[in-house]
Structure 1
């Protein structure tokens, strides 16, 4: 058997941790000397220690670890549980990373608030346009709700257009409509030359003309579009207009691999 210090070194944990595990009944020593009170462990207990440490590192509480260890899971069952927990943690890390990116984008918007050039906004009419489109519903207009809906829609729309032998004739467009509560219907649209009466596995829609649209070019990733929308808002207020509906997004230059190089025209209908 191994004294507690030696076992701690072999298991790459601290003596203090082993004593704590003993006190809470999570990992008892194989033997305790009655005279000295020294704890001793056998090599087979490294198996249990490995399970405890792995479960703890994956975010389980010690109480949960005790319950899992008590179920005497075989190695395959335990591996399955650890893989599932690992996938959950990876998804959480990805979500947290996306959240940090959005926070950084908001901070950059705040930092540039005093340097917004409303002279970049252009008031112009926008012609009607026939598009092929797919649509879905997002929980809100927040970026973390819109992105997971609109991106797959565009991918699926392009696939269906390819299958139909149709060519996109102008930059793709995303536009939005309120549904109920805070939900938003997301439209992924691509201008195409085709007759509206034909049957397809996508919708064919004639987007109405906008008699007066406040428009501005957004340079960079759509994760940072808030600063450009804020510029639009300042211009609309300065010139005595009110906006109608959500801005259209016309993707003049878009690359999924390099979103920071994108160029998007925002178009919002305005009225006095």
Structure 2
């Protein structure tokens, strides 16, 4: 088991965030010492925090992440993930179009800057 500080460093998540995740029921410690209230996390929690971080990086809300992690219904979890994947794919297409537009603009700007050669 890892202390909250050790777990924080191991997972790259702040202690404050781990306390918050515990408070909202997203990631409960494996053990809380009743006399000191120190929180400890088992190795199995590493996978959970990794899932949380991946889903957060896709702009999924903590509420949706909690629902996804807690939901025992595999079909429901797949539906939630598929919905988010479609959303991210749409964003990817949008960003790709913006990059193309910016590239065209850059090319146009470069053409205007190129000095014209005088012909005799």
Query: Structure 2 length as normaliser, TM-score?
Result: 0.69
Matched, 1:58 2:58: yes
Corresponding residue number in structure 2 for 1:89: 91
Structure 1 position 39, deviation (Å) = 0.7
CA distance in 2 between counterparts of 1:89 and 1:72 reads 29
Structure 1 position 6, deviation (Å) = 0.8
Corresponding residue number in structure 2 for 1:12: 12
Structure 1 position 72, deviation (Å) = 4.3
Corresponding residue number in structure 2 for 1:70: 70
CA distance in 1 between counterparts of 2:73 and 2:93 reads 25
CA distance in 1 between counterparts of 2:23 and 2:98 reads 35
1:137-181 CA-to-partner distances (Å, cap 9, x unmatched) read: xxxxxxxxxxxxxxxxxxxxxxxxxxxxxxxxxxxxxxxxxxxxx
Corresponding residue number in structure 1 for 2:32: 32
Larger Rg: 1
Matches within 5 A, 1:92-111: 92-98=94-100, 101=102, 105=105
CA distance in 1 between counterparts of 2:48 and 2:87 reads 18
SS in 2 for 1:68: helix
Higher share in strand: 1
In structure 2, runs of 5+ residues without a counterpart are 112-120
In the superposition, relative to structure 1, how do residues 66 and 91 fare at CA in structure 2: closer, same or farther (>3 Å)?
A: same
Q: Count the aligned residue pairs.
A: 104
1:67-123 CA-to-partner distances (Å, cap 9, x unmatched) read: 11122477xx59x64754542332232244356x29x95xx9xxxxxxxxxxxxxxx
Corresponding residue number in structure 2 for 1:41: 41
SS in 2 for 1:40: strand
Higher share in helix: 2
Q: CA RMSD in A?
A: 3.1
In the superposition, relative to structure 1, how do residues 3 and 85 fare at CA in structure 2: closer, same or farther (>3 Å)?
A: farther
SS in 2 for 1:28: coil
Query: Is the 1:58–1:85 contact (alpha carbons within 8 Å) kept by the matching residues of 2?
Result: no
Structure 1 position 26, deviation (Å) = 0.7
